[in-house]
Amino acid sequence: MTFLRAIPFSFNILWRLALVFPFMIIALIMVGILAGFLVLLTAAVSPLLAVVIMGFFGVGASVLPTMVGTRLGLRARGASVRSSAFGLALPAIGYGLFEALCALLIMALGVAAYLFATSLTLEDFTQLTQMDEDVVIQQLMSVSPAITLSIFWVGGVLILGLRAALLMPLAGASIAADPSGRPHTPFYGFASEFLSLLPLVFLSYLLWGLAVPLAVAICYLLGFGDAVIAAANQIEMTGGNEALGLLGVETGVFIGIVVLVYLWAFSLQCAGGRWFI
């Protein structure tokens, strides 16, 4: 029931999220600059630590739009907000770090399970990390398709489940308050409405993956799909600053549709927080 109610409410969040999108981009750019500065400082000491920091900030960057959208949705439902917009940064980074650490642990357990169940060694796995993603998947599938698919499936479900479990705490952090009116308690409501929110998160991630194909399909329905494909091919072949001159109305509409699909994906997760109050 929560899942079905969240979908129409997500459109109520979508248009609000679209209005603040430019400001959100500026905030993400500032976070990216900070992350880049920290990565440069740590790369000279430990490249591995630099990669970990990039991962932490990457997950944090996905948490921030979710918190912004959830805040907008809760305000639309009459919730009182106890923090400023700038107050979202710290909890977004904190929850982002937690989610990144958990995701890293899930991936590490997946690697350990794969090493235990197959004949690959840690050295073999290290060599795989230097290959392209498609090549890595082909290599893993050639070793054991069943084990590879099982680990990918279980790991993916765990990561999706983690985000679903965090939606209620993110809702509380977005307005800096618990339902009782007290200041936000970290992880309050963790895993609440989990079974209803899990398919919502799955749909959200599915939309992220299908954003470009969906935008292309919509462009074909609007009658200029071929023009978008042709422009994309020209831009890919041209590259550099000259490619900007190839952007036309059709490609602008295409980019706008992609952005809207991405924002709707975030809005779906944000809509899950409406039951926080």
- At 9-40, the pLDDT tens digits run 999 999 999 999 888 888 778 877 877 888 88
- Average pLDDT estimate for 229-252: 71
Task: Write the CA distances from 98 to 51, 54, 70, 170, 238, integer angstroms.
Answer: 16, 14, 19, 12, 41
Q: DSSP 3-state helix, strand, coil percentages of the chain (rounded to 5)?
A: 85, 0, 15
Bridge partners, residue 125, by sequence: none
HSE (side-chain half, CA atoms, 13 Å) at 72: 26
R_g over Cα of the chain: 21
- At 163-205, the pLDDT tens digits run 999 999 999 999 988 888 888 899 998 988 898 899 999 999 9
HSE (side-chain half, CA atoms, 13 Å) at 148: 12
Cβ neighbourhood burial of 239 (10 Å; 0-12, 13-18, 19+):
exposed
The SS3 assignment for 177 reads strand
**115 closest CA partner among 104, 105, 126:** 126
- At 244-270, the pLDDT tens digits run 556 678 888 899 999 999 999 999 999
Prediction pTM value: 0.84
HSE (side-chain half, CA atoms, 13 Å) at 26: 6
Which pLDDT band, with edges at 50, 70 and 90, does 162 fall under? very high
Q: With contact defined as beta carbons under 8 Å apart, do 13 and 72 qualify?
A: yes
- Residue carrying structure tokens 């980019």: 255
CA angle, 47 as apex, 41 and 50 as ends, to 5°? 55
Mean pLDDT of the chain: 83
Which of 87-91, 183-187, 220-224 is least confident? 87-91
Torsion of CA 249, 251, 253, 255, to 10 degrees: -140
